[in-house]
Structure 1
Amino acid sequence: MTDTDKEMIELDVFFEAARRETAEVPDGLADRIVADADRVRQSWSVSAQKLRPGILRQLYDMLGGWPAMGGLATACAAGVWLGFSPPSMLPDPAQFVMVDGTFLDDDSLATAMAEEG
């Protein structure tokens, strides 16, 4: 509202008039509406079942497509590479697991995994 026009239109009069009026529904209209709604609902359920993608497609879409899948494959390859042939600045994880040809014969793995300080 502007400062010059301070008059309020009383909407309650219009709302009361609308409440007093009753609308008559033509014969058979409600039945046709319900029948049409059932027909549309059935067509949606059939098409939704036919178009549902498989689990791999859902996973592919969830991850973000080919760019994300390429990044995951690269990270996996780099992890495997670093696991099998670590750089010289990183310790070889095989020396912590295999000691004297036996698998975890003493506390060497626990010692290696313990925090310093």
Structure 2
Amino acid sequence: MVDKTDRHAPGQLGGQADAEQSRGGDDLFADALMDDLFAEARDCRPAEVPVHLEQSIIREAVAIQAARAAAVQSQGADWAKGRTERGITGLMAQLRGVIAAIGGWPALGGLATASAAGLWIGLAPPSFIPDPVALAGIDLSASDLPDDSYDLALVLSEETE
């Protein structure tokens, strides 16, 4: 079957002929060049970074990290000072400190979501997860329970007498 572009439908010519028909010769030549470039890149070792350049990059990174840490600490101190001036102390201040230590409200939201998902999976596990009650070795069957509620009432009444 030939379409409007005078190309055969895939699968009629078979294998390599399909690939050559669907892609021009220029594409195949470009693929061969790319294969050669990738082979050359695999054999090549990466260029060595001069030691002084590497040391200057590390020094600059350490300086930037120290500056950011100082900025975060000063913001935290300013924030805490502002809260105590407004009268937020005690339990609320500690709660805000815990939330800040966790990572703020976004992290607390993620923690709540993960907790809810864990509870849900624990209460109603999917069929491919084994039942945790069976894994614990607890066997509940109909023979473990009394046949009639009257029997249970009788046992309980005898114990209370």
TM-score by length of structure 1 reads 0.39
Larger RCO (alpha carbons 8 Å, 6+ apart): 1
Greater helix proportion: 2
